[in-house]
């Protein structure tokens, strides 16, 4: 290992079950006339009207084979592709309530309004054949294709699309991203008229039918990143369209209709595959629809797709070796063995970032002014005792910076496969392919510098222990200052996580490495709490663990504006820490039209957020997958946290 091999071995990353024992339980559960539209933008992942040649936007170099992709005209008739995964997300088929990055497994069931090419450019091969922006930048419009149908045979209409946008981007959606967008949507009344006891109301004017095959949606301020939100590059189903008539036929109440949709989502969906079988916690089976319009561009070379949920890495490996599976996430420890048996590795470029964050560290945060909410409350919700609560250490930027300097990124890199797989670059929001990222421009992880970390802790008034110096010798203790004040009370620095599966191999070990560094160099009594993904998110977003850090995986995206808004730039509901310095820069990014303006505006917002360090990352991962002997080639998409671009599969026989 890179710097402290003996210390790393003593940290016991092979003894995780004994170390990670704290479990999380329970799941908390314009009416104005529109301005004239500008000419349609060029078919690229940019919102600008075409004003000349667009610079190509593509993923960074990744460890894919150097040979050209295998050419094939295989029809795939009668073939079944078997893909293994470690998670189905929360297994909810109603897109309004899905959660977790594994909702990518819903993609075969749905089509998106805007498709994307291999180099992340928008294309007109999806449900929308054109789109435009109004002159004031507030209204976005789409023209829908005329030949698309739902799985039950009904034609897709503009009325369906407008309803779906209203249903998905809703105050009652599980996704905080969608609630955030909902807050910005223009309507006939203020948001209060549609929230609280009125959450069943869809915003009047939220999304409108503007022609036989045209829809539009208007915002209170420019929100041009919404194009990305309804495209494949977003990663979710926000850009899908489902049948309103079918949904309405499923029951007399929205709850009943949603429950019945979850039971059988297929008839009202519009993707290239029918959902033919689903066993919770076991498998999903799709059957290809031979008449779907997307097959002209994406001729999936198989008739059936079976996705099996297999949490154990050893079981996934055995399935590949036996020929029972074709694709599986597998860490690199098995690389030599599997390649010797005729299998190949492929990597999902820039797919997953290690995201470190604490909720509500900013004194400007709207929820509780940055103070601890985990204390006792009475029946009316008022705090018992000091109304200010316990000040959080993470309110001090020196502490946030120190936490990053104290992490040995190269040790994490070596743990998960080395620099070929784990890249010490980018921010918690943006990877090198993301809009606004610039290399060597202050948008990368802080270097491992325990001396600097300790000095920042001392400057903030906290003791630090004696510690080994990676460059030789020993750091002396500083003991004449105060001891750490732990968020939530008690005497432990609580860190939360969940198992990320093979898309982040050894996630729990990564978290132990981080905790070990914070303990060794800063003297924090660090405790790792492992639980279920949705439950931990509910605890954090519900305000139960302010100032306590999450070390978790998160998907990277091309357009990072939604992340910036949600984390730092929404005074009514940033879910990390609202920052008034980031807010105007994000607003400028959302209003930027030309590609040059967007790059500059996004860079400025990312730089300010990185300086604030409300969240940070030691780096990002190219997720490793293995293809079995039946597969000759496969080219996964960039910025996708699960196996993607399955239409590029080439069979070996």
Domain count, the chain: 2
pTM of the model: 0.81
User: Binning pLDDT at 50, 70 and 90, where does residue 59 land?
Assistant: very low
* CATH number of the domain enclosing 189: 3.90.76.10
Domain match, 12 and 117 both: no
Domain match, 367 and 232 both: no
Domain match, 450 and 587 both: yes
Decide if 282 is inside a domain. no
Structural contact between residues 176 and 566, judged by C-beta atoms closer than 8 angstroms: yes
**Structure confidence by residue, pLDDT tens digits, 274-305:** 999 999 889 999 999 999 999 999 999 999 99
User: Binning pLDDT at 50, 70 and 90, where does residue 101 land?
Assistant: low
Rank 95-104, 111-120, 452-461 by mean pLDDT and report only the highest: 452-461
Structural contact between residues 286 and 276, judged by C-beta atoms closer than 8 angstroms: yes
Decide if 593 is inside a domain. yes
Domain match, 240 and 370 both: no
pLDDT at 570: 80
* CATH number of the domain enclosing 401: 3.10.105.10
The span from the CA of 406 to the CA of 398, in Å, is: 12
Domain match, 363 and 510 both: yes
CA distances from 210 to 141, 149, 207 (A): 9, 20, 9
Domain match, 222 and 362 both: no
pLDDT at 365: 60
How large is the average pLDDT for residues 321-342? 94
Sign of CA dihedral 146, 304, 638, 540: positive
| Residue (of 453, 358, 471, 444) closest to 406 by Cα position | 453
Phi, psi of 546, deg, nearest 5: -65, 140
pLDDT score of 344 more than 50: yes
pLDDT at 638: 87
Determine what percent of the chain is predicted with pLDDT higher than 70.
82
Q: Which of 238, 258, 278 is the last residue of a domain?
A: 258
Chain centre distance of CA 522: 30
Q: Which of 196, 225, 258 is the last residue of a domain?
A: 258
Residues composing the chain: 653
Q: Which has the higher per-residue pLDDT, 378 or 338? A: 338
Domain match, 95 and 12 both: no
Domain match, 252 and 358 both: no
Decide if 571 is inside a domain. yes
Decide if 642 is inside a domain. no
Domain match, 13 and 99 both: no
Domain match, 254 and 154 both: yes
Decide if 79 is inside a domain. no
Three-state SS at 266? coil
β-bridge pairing 493-497 and 549-555: parallel
How large is the average pLDDT for residues 484-512? 86
pLDDT score of 107 more than 70: yes
Q: Which of 217, 243, 258 is the last residue of a domain?
A: 258
The span from the CA of 102 to the CA of 181, in Å, is: 21
pLDDT score of 545 more than 70: yes
pLDDT at 29: 33
Determine what percent of the chain is predicted with pLDDT higher than 90.
54
CA distances from 495 to 172, 465, 492, 551 (A): 29, 20, 9, 7
pLDDT at 380: 63
Chain centre distance of CA 498: 15
Biggest CA–CA distance in the chain, Å, is 75
Q: If phi over 0 gives left and psi between -120 and 50 gives alpha, with beta otherwise, what is residue 10? A: alpha
pLDDT at 208: 93
Decide if 638 is inside a domain. no
Q: Bridge partners of 493?
A: 526
Structural contact between residues 402 and 484, judged by C-beta atoms closer than 8 angstroms: no
Decide if 204 is inside a domain. yes
Phi, psi of 378, deg, nearest 5: -85, -175
pLDDT at 501: 61
Domain match, 100 and 10 both: no
Three-state SS at 211? strand
Domain match, 474 and 604 both: yes
**Structure confidence by residue, pLDDT tens digits, 60-79:** 434 444 456 666 667 788 99
pLDDT score of 552 more than 70: yes
Name, in order, each residue with C-beta under 8 angstroms of 318's C-beta and a sequence gap of 6 or more.
none
pLDDT score of 7 more than 50: no
Structural contact between residues 248 and 159, judged by C-beta atoms closer than 8 angstroms: no
Mean of per-residue pLDDT scores for the chain: 83
How large is the average pLDDT for residues 227-241? 88
Name, in order, each residue with C-beta under 8 angstroms of 237's C-beta and a sequence gap of 6 or more.
95, 98, 103, 106, 107, 110, 112, 168
Residue 246 structural domain? 91-258
pLDDT at 24: 28
**Structure confidence by residue, pLDDT tens digits, 379-415:** 665 444 433 456 789 999 999 999 999 999 999 999 9
CA dihedral in degrees (69, 75, 80, 83; nearest 10)?
A: 20
pLDDT score of 336 more than 70: yes
pLDDT score of 373 more than 60: no
User: Binning pLDDT at 50, 70 and 90, where does residue 30 land?
Assistant: very low
CB-side neighbour CA atoms (13 Å) of 253:
3
Decide if 459 is inside a domain. yes
pLDDT score of 41 more than 50: no
Phi, psi of 129, deg, nearest 5: -100, -5
Which letter, b or e, does each residue of 196-225 get, where b requires 16 or more Cβ atoms within 10 Å of its Cβ? eeeeebbbebbbbbbeebbbbbbbeebbbb
């Amino acid at each position: 290992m890179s710097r402290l091999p003996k210390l790393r071995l003593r940290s016991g990353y092979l003894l995780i079950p004994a170390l990670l024992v704290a479990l999380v339980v329970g799941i908390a559960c314009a009416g104005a006339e529109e301005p004239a539209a500008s000419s349609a933008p060029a078919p690229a992942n940019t919102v600008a009207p075409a004003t000349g040649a667009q610079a190509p936007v593509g993923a960074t170099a990744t460890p894919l084979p150097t040979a050209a992709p295998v050419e094939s005209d295989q029809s795939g008739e009668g073939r079944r592709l078997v893909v293994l995964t470690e998670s189905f997300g929360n297994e909810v088929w109603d897109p309004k309530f899905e959660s977790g990055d594994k909702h990518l497994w819903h993609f075969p069931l749905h089509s998106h309004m805007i498709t994307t090419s291999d180099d992340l450019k928008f294309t007109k091969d999806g449900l929308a054949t054109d789109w435009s922006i109004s002159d004031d930048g507030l209204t976005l419009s789409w023209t829908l294709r005329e030949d698309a149908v739902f799985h039950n045979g009904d034609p897709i209409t503009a009325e369906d699309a407008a309803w779906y946008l209203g249903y998905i981007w809703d105050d009652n959606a599980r996704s905080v991203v969608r609630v955030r967008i909902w807050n910005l949507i223009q309507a006939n009344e203020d948001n209060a008229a549609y929230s609280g006891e009125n959450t069943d109301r869809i915003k009047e004017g939220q999304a409108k039918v503007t022609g036989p095959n045209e829809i539009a949606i208007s915002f209170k301020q420019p929100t041009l990143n919404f194009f990305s939100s309804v495209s494949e590059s977003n990663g979710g189903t926000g850009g899908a369209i489902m049948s309103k008539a079918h949904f309405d036929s499923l029951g007399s109440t929205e709850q009943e209709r949603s429950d019945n949709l979850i039971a059988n989502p297929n008839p009202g969906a519009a993707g290239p595959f029918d959902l033919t079988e689903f066993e919770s916690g076991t498998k999903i089976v799709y059957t290809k629809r031979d008449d779907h319009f997307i097959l002209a561009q994406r001729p999936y070379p198989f008739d059936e797709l079976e996705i099996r949920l297999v949490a154990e890495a050893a079981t996934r490996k055995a399935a590949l070796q036996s020929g029972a599976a074709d694709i599986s996430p597998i860490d690199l420890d098995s690389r030599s063995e599997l390649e010797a048996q005729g299998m190949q590795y492929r990597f999902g470029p820039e797919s997953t970032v290690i995201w470190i964050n604490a909720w509500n560290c900013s004194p400007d945060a709207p929820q509780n002014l940055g103070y601890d909410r985990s204390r006792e409350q009475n029946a009316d919700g008022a705090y018992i005792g000091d109304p200010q609560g316990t000040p959080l250490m993470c309110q001090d930027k020196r502490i946030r910076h120190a936490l990053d300097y104290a992490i040995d990124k190269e040790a994490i890199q070596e743990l998960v496969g080395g620099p070929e797989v784990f890249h010490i670059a980018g921010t918690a929001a943006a990877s090198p392919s993301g809009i606004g990222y610039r290399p060597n421009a202050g948008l990368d992880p802080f270097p491992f510098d325990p001396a600097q970390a300790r000095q920042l802790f001392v400057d903030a008034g906290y003791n630090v222990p004696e510690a080994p110096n990676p460059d030789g010798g020993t750091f002396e203790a500083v003991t004449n200052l105060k001891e750490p004040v732990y968020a939530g009370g008690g005497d432990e620095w609580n860190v939360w996580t969940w198992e990320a599966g093979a898309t982040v191999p050894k996630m729990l070990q990564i978290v132990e490495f981080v905790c070990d560094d914070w303990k060794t160099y800063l003297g924090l009594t660090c405790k790792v709490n492992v639980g279920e993904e949705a439950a931990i998110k509910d605890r954090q977003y519900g305000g139960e663990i302010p100032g306590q850090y999450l070390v978790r995986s998160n998907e990277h995206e091309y357009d990072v504006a939604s992340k910036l808004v949600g984390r730092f730039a929404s005074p009514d509901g940033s879910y990390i820490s609202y920052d008034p310095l980031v807010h105007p820069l994000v607003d400028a990014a959302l209003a930027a039209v030309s590609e040059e303006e967007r790059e500059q505006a996004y860079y400025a917002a990312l730089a300010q957020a990185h300086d604030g360090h409300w969240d940070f990352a030691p780096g990002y991962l190219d997720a490793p997958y293995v293809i079995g002997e039946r597969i000759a080639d496969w080219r996964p998409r960039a910025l996708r946290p699960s196996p993607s671009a399955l239409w590029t599969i080439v069979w070996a026989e």
